[in-house]
Structure 1
Amino acid sequence: MKPLVRNAALSSYVELSQSLGIDPRALMKRVGLDPVGLTVQDRWISGVAVTELLELSAAASHREDFGLLLAERRRFSNLGPISLVIREEPDARSAIELLVRHEHMYNEMLHGRLSEASGLATLKVSLELGEAMAARQAIELAVGAFHQILRSFLGNRWQPVSVCFTHSAPLDTGTHRRVFGPAVEFDREFNGIVFYASDLNAPNPMSDPQLRTYARQYFESLAVSRDTTVTDRVRELIEVLLPTGRCSIEQVACSLGVDRRTVHRHLSASGVTFSSLLNATRAQLAEQLVANPRRSLTEISGLLGFSAPSAFSRWFSERFGCSPRQWRVRRTTQQPSAEG
């Protein structure tokens, strides 16, 4: 399977695109991404589609610095649960090592490597997309995001020794020099940041030693293995796509960057089909939603991807043996005795 990234990789993408006069939703649909699902930051989408989207956006806006402009809008929270931990790490070294070690938790195509020699530290950044394609904007977004993290630890006046890119310089390097300082270099042999190794040991002014233990324990409870299954990914995408009314195996395959036969093959190997996984996920969500009396059944019907409330009611009756309204009434009357 091709690498996936969290929706948060495109955080502020819509706002930046609109500020530059381009239509973000049209471009997202062009690469098979769902603009509605983008609001759920912890869902996963195709890294190849994100990379292509950034290139298309740079071309449409005539801004070779598009990826870097997006990096400027990055926040710690865009990293997900790991952001709670790195804020409390004692120094930049510990934070960067943690980010590199657990990069699969927020971006499966990103690979960072920190090395030290002769008093200098080098943070190299690469992308593994599984196919040959232009990735200038995604690379600049990744390097820019790491630069933002280092600066948050070392202060706004901190400057790296150099920031390197393998691609050629843009026609206008103004944004690059404003963000990175005068030491930005192009046509180099690697993408990344070079800085003094002593910077890694600078104490983190944001860190609270008493909170660090709790943050670590919380993170370890959420930390996932690199072996997250295709079935898990498909289930997550079903949850995202259901409210859009376009939850099909074709749409899921597009989001994963593969064809539908590949999805079928992986699900079959796990002993499930797409329709059975769709029904199981829908049933789990239905129980949660119908139990909430503040949600109307018409609203729930839409959230579960049904074209009409009548279709939802028929499906629910077949699945649970009664209508959604009857199920809600029974749940409500049973609750007091259960609590008692």
Structure 2
Amino acid sequence: MKVLARYAALNSYVEVSQSVGVDPAGLMRGVGLDPASLGSPDRWVPAAAIARLLEQSAAASGHQDFGLKLAERRRLANLGPLSLVIREEPDLRSALRMLIRHANMYNEALRMRRSVTNGLTTVRIRFEFGEPVGARQATELAVGVLYRLLRDLLGPLWQPVTVCFTHPAPVDASTHRKFFGPMLKFEQEFDGIVFYASDLDTPNKLSDPQLRTYARQFLDSLGLAEETTPLDRVRELVELLLPSGRCSVEHVARSLGVDRRTVHRHLADANETFSSVLNSIRAELADQMVSSRRYSLTEIATLLSFSSSSNFSRWFRGQFGCTPSHWRAEKQHALPR
């Protein structure tokens, strides 16, 4: 399967595109991405498609600083659940360790490595898309996000020793100089940031020791493995696509950047079929939704992509041995009064 990234990587893409006079929807469709899916930031798509989108957006707008314009709008909170853990780590060393360990939660193509030599720490960033694709804008976005994170944790007066890029300088580097400061170098051996090793032990002023354990437990509860299996990807996409009414093996395959036969083959390797995965996810969600009174049974039928309430009721009886109404009544009766 192709290397994937989440739509969260395009946070603020619409706003930045419109600010530089290009059509975000048209550019997204041109690289095979669905503009409507920007509302589902956890959905996976081919990472190479996102990189192509950023390159084409920079070219169409004439702004070689397009990736940095995205980075300017990023905050620690844009890292989602991971931001809760990073925020509570005791020092920069621990925060970077968590970031590097879990970077593939958002982009499987992203590679980050930290090293310490002669009193200097170097954090290197690179991408492995599995296919030829330009990555200048994606790289500047990633380095920019890392830079913002370091300043959030070390304070607004902190400056790196050097910010390095392997590509040549843009014609106009004013945005880059304003963003990174004077210690910026192009055509270097790696992409990343160099800073003093002593910064690693700087206490994190955002941290609350009493919340640290709970934050880590929360991250662990999400079941985030360092290696996401094809079955994990399919299950996640099924859950995301169900409410849209477009939960088919074709749509899942398109989101993964493969054909339907490849999806079936990977599921067979895990002793699953698309139907068994769909049924399993529906059963898990139905149990949760019917047990609660947040949704009506008609709404639940729609959210689980059943064509009618009667079809949902028949399926539910086959799964749970009773009607949804009876199940809900039993669950509510069992609640403490």
Structure 1 residue aligned with 2:56? 56
Does structure 1 retain, via aligned residues, the 8 Å contact 2:67–2:140?
yes
Structure 2 residue aligned with 1:179? 179
Structure 2 residue aligned with 1:330? 326
Deviation at 1:277, TM superposition (A): 2.2
Deviation at 1:314, TM superposition (A): 5.0
The superposition leaves residues 85-104 of structure 1 with CA deviations (integer Å, 9 ceiling, x where unpaired) of: 21122222221122112323
Structure 2 residue aligned with 1:320? 316
Gaps of 5+ in 1: none
The amino acid across from 2:158 in the alignment is: W
The amino acid across from 2:10 in the alignment is: L
* TM-score normalized by the length of structure 1: 0.87
Structure 2 residue aligned with 1:69? 69
Structure 1 residue aligned with 2:218? 218
Deviating more after overlay: 195-204 vs 159-168: 195-204
Structure 2 residue aligned with 1:199? 199
Alignment identity in percent? 59
Distance 1:201 1:34 in 2: 43
Structure 2 residue aligned with 1:265? 265
The amino acid across from 1:204 in the alignment is: N
Does structure 2 retain, via aligned residues, the 8 Å contact 1:49–1:257?
no
What is the root-mean-square deviation of aligned Cα atoms in Å? Answer: 2.5
Q: Match of 2:33, SS? A: coil
Deviation at 1:274, TM superposition (A): 1.9
The amino acid across from 2:159 in the alignment is: Q
Number of equivalent positions: 333
Q: Match of 2:18, SS? A: helix
Deviation at 1:40, TM superposition (A): 3.5
Deviating more after overlay: 69-78 vs 237-246: 237-246
Does structure 1 retain, via aligned residues, the 8 Å contact 2:291–2:332?
no
Deviating more after overlay: 39-48 vs 199-208: 39-48
Structure 2 residue aligned with 1:241? 241
* TM-score normalized by the length of structure 2: 0.88
**Cα 1:268–1:69, aligned 2, differ >3 Å: closer, same or farther?**
same
Distance 1:216 1:291 in 2: 29
The superposition leaves residues 44-70 of structure 1 with CA deviations (integer Å, 9 ceiling, x where unpaired) of: 332222222222222232221111111
Structure 1 residue aligned with 2:37? 37
Q: Match of 1:114, SS? A: strand
Deviation at 1:271, TM superposition (A): 1.8
Mapping for residues 101-140 of structure 1, pairs under 5 Å: 101-140=101-140
Structure 1 residue aligned with 2:4? 4
Deviation at 1:190, TM superposition (A): 0.8
Structure 1 residue aligned with 2:253? 253
Gaps of 5+ in 2: none
Deviation at 1:142, TM superposition (A): 0.7
**Cα 1:167–1:207, aligned 2, differ >3 Å: closer, same or farther?**
same
Does structure 2 retain, via aligned residues, the 8 Å contact 1:105–1:223?
no
Mapping for residues 156-171 of structure 1, pairs under 5 Å: 156-171=156-171
Q: Match of 1:126, SS? A: strand
Structure 1 residue aligned with 2:227? 227
**Cα 1:221–1:285, aligned 2, differ >3 Å: closer, same or farther?**
closer
Does structure 2 retain, via aligned residues, the 8 Å contact 1:37–1:240?
no
Q: Match of 1:102, SS? A: helix
The amino acid across from 2:200 in the alignment is: L
Distance 1:31 1:245 in 2: 23
